[in-house]
Amino acid sequence: MKALLAATPKRALFLMAVLAGVLLALPAFANAYILSVAILILYFAYLGQAWNVMMGFCGQLSLGHSLYVGIGAYVSAALFVHFGIAPWIGIWASILACMAAGAAIGVLAFRFGIGGVYFALLTIAFAEFTRIGFDHLDWVGGSGGFFLPVAQREINDVLALRGSPAMFYYVMLALTVAAFAFCTWLLRTRIGYYWQAIREDPDAAQALGINTFRYKMLAVIISAGMSSLSGVFFAFYYNNLFPEQIFNMSRSIEIILGPIIGGTGTLFGPILGAVVLTVLADGITELMAAFGWEIPGVKQVFYGTCMLVVIVFLPNGIWPTLARRLGLERREGGPHG
């Protein structure tokens, strides 16, 4: 920890302190709309971080991360609605269920040598058939949706995930900060080095004694477990779940846009990407509303344009370039933030 601080430029520490202050104080001066946008940003920053573990660190492309969000959401919600089990307990069931799903995909793919594009297709397939399965699962409402009882918003109860938007904001902020810290730590351990080696060249990694199967499994399972938490959050924040929405492939795409635009494999990339995408997308929607225009699909077109611009001009994402411009790069070796 001390070494980490010493290796980080003063300027970066100062900026992070300012950022922390603003984030902590935000609910005090932000209106309901700003707060809802902030929650959305944190939600995508967190999920992007989780996805980044698999793709950014270990080089395994998942295009079906909505699977873990959906399973995480449904498991906790079902336990709550049917058995009255509070989310702080249900969350563990969600994590385990998602880790099991991730492990199933991992075993299938990595045991039988399915890699690259075919692996990505497999992740889509799992998300899709799970969506269809939930469409017909009447126990959790099927395609008609699953609804959680909406409770009083005045009393904040973090353990029950019931309370005001400000509480949800702080919960999501805590999750995002924890995920960031966790990933920073992971990258500095043997696991992080081995993941990056596998990402860069699996053959060379194996020749250096790395059990690539084991470490790829670890990446999928950790990423799935992290993603499940955002599903639980989603369920108790929005109080309604539809398989058509939560498992949809476009959700998976939304999850990965942030880290790709921000910078795959970096620690700040997913966060920066979430800020840029959410703020701009919402800004455009607001702008359109202000002018009284209504163009369906404008958000998707905007996402596509963002992607195009970043891939053409900043193939490594915004963060690596930005960090260099601001002089925020770490000095001595080690994986780069």
Partner 1 sequence: MAETLLSVRSVSKSFRGLRAAAEVSFDVEEGHVVALIGPNGAGKTTCFNMIAGALAPDAGEIRFAGRRIDGMRPDQVCLAGIGRTFQLVKPFAGLSVLDNVIVGALRRNSHVGVARRKAHAVLERLGLEGKRDQPASALTLPDRKRLEVARAIATEPRLLLLDEVMAGLRPTETDRMVAVFRRLNEEHGLTILLIEHVMRAVMALSREIHVLHHGELIASGSPDDVVRHPAVLDCYLGEEAV
- Select 150 or 207, whichever has its Cβ closest to partner 1: 207
- CA–CA separation, 155 and 177 (whole Å): 24
Binding mask 149-188 for partner 1 (x = CB under 8 A): ---------------------------------------x
The smaller minimum CB distance to partner 1, of residues 215 and 242, is found at 215
From the centroid of its chain, how far is CA 109? Answer: 22
Which listed range, 7-15, 169-177, 189-197, 246-254, lies at the site for partner 1 (CB under 8 A)? 189-197
Supply the minimum distance, in Å, between the C-beta of residue 3 and partner 1. 9
Task: Report the alpha-carbon distance of residue 250 to residue 299 in Å, rounded.
Answer: 12
Question: How far is 51 from 61, CA to CA, in rounded Å?
Answer: 9
The answer to the question of residue 8 lying near partner 1 (CB under 8 A) is no
Q: Let me know if 86 is exposed, middle or buried by CB neighbors in 10 A (0-12, 13-18, 19+).
A: middle
CB of 57 to partner 1, least distance (A): 11
- From the list 194, 234, 303, 319, which residue makes contact with partner 1 (rule: CB under 8 A)? 194
Is residue 208 within the footprint of partner 1 (CB under 8 A)? Answer: yes
Question: Which value, in Å, is the radius of gyration of the alpha carbons in the chain?
Answer: 20
The residue (of 205 and 318) whose beta carbon lies closer to partner 1 is: 205
With CB under 8 A as the contact rule, the residue among 24, 152, 181, 189 that binds partner 1 is 189
199 binds partner 1 (CB under 8 A): yes
Q: And the tokens for 76?
A: 């906790």
d(CA 38, CA 173): 9
Please, what is the minimum distance in Å from the beta carbon of residue 149 to partner 1?
48
Number of residues that bind partner 1 (CB under 8 A): 24
In one-letter notation, the amino acid at residue 216 is K
* 157, 201, 244, 286: which one binds partner 1 (CB under 8 A): 201
Residue listed under structure tokens 């993603």: 227
Show contacts with partner 1 in window 252-281 (CB under 8 A). Answer: 265
Contact letters for partner 1, residues 209-248 (x by CB under 8 A): xxxx------------------------------------
Give me the amino acid identity at 129: F
131 lines the binding site for partner 1 (CB under 8 A): no
Q: At CB < 8 A and 24+ separation, what contacts does 326-332 make?
A: 326/11, 326/15, 327/9, 327/11, 328/9, 328/11, 328/12, 328/15, 329/9, 330/7, 330/8, 330/9, 331/7, 331/9, 332/7
Q: Is 197 in the site for partner 1 (CB under 8 A)?
A: yes
Positions in the binding site for partner 1 (CB under 8 A)? 188-190, 193-194, 196-197, 199-201, 203-212, 265, 333-335
